[in-house]
């Protein structure tokens, strides 16, 4: 009995049909595009100090984010209040969205310049940070990347 290959016609085996796109395995074809990078800051604010933290966010953090957005360093920002399921989990989550990873990581000096201009000097910021640490704890920071599906 002849093999299946022997029964192929020349038209089925032409170079035009054996293009690299047809021979490329599915895993070599991107299944998504990389999008924006969001920094998530997980904050635990002690009971009774929510108003203090909101006042700081309103007076200092938001104007800094607006300046960074205006100058094109960030795309957007958000503040979320969470209801933790157990102690030690965040009750505030701050989102800062950058266009890409380079914007999030490579522009830190320029971002610091904006922060120094809007808030105050690094020394002044450190003093304020020490004061805020009396009623809030930074539990961690995470960078996540959006995946854009086709």
pLDDT, residue 107, reads 82
* Token couple for 150: 């086709």
* Token couple for 44: 């635990």
DSSP label at residue 61: I
Query: What integer best gives the mean pLDDT of the chain?
Result: 84
Confidence label for 15 from pLDDT (cuts 50, 70 and 90)? very low
Tokens 């635990």 correspond to 44
pLDDT, residue 16, reads 47
Q: What is the CATH number of domain 33-148?
A: 3.30.70.100
Q: 138 in helix, strand or coil?
A: strand
Burial of 19 (0-12, 13-18, 19+ CB in 10 A): exposed
pTM: predicted TM-score of the whole model, two decimal places: 0.75
pLDDT digits (tens, 9 = 90+) for 89-133: 999 999 999 988 777 677 888 889 999 999 998 899 999 999 999
Give 147's Cβ-side CA count (13 Å radius): 4
Tokens 């157990």 correspond to 86
Task: Average the pLDDT over 16-21 and give the result.
Answer: 48
pLDDT, residue 30, reads 75
pLDDT, residue 22, reads 54
Sheet holding 33-45, edge to edge: 76-81, 92-98, 33-45, 136-148
pLDDT, residue 23, reads 54
Given a cut of 70, whether residue 19 has pLDDT beyond it is no
pLDDT, residue 26, reads 58
């Amino acid at each position: 009995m002849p093999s299946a290959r022997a029964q192929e016609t020349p038209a089925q085996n032409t170079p035009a049909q054996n293009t690299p796109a047809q021979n490329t395995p599915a895993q070599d074809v991107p299944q998504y595009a990389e999008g924006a990078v969001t920094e998530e800051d997980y904050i635990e604010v002690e009971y009774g100090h929510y108003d203090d933290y909101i006042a700081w966010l309103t007076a200092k953090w938001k104007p800094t984010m607006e300046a960074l957005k205006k100058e094109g360093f960030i795309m957007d920002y958000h503040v979320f209040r969470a209801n933790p399921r157990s102690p030690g989990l965040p009750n505030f989550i701050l989102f800062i969205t950058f266009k890409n990873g380079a914007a999030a990581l490579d522009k830190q000096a320029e971002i610091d310049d904006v922060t120094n201009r809007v808030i105050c000097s690094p020394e002044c910021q450190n003093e304020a940070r020490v004061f805020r640490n009396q009623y809030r704890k930074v539990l961690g920071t995470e960078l996540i990347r959006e995946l854009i599906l086709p």
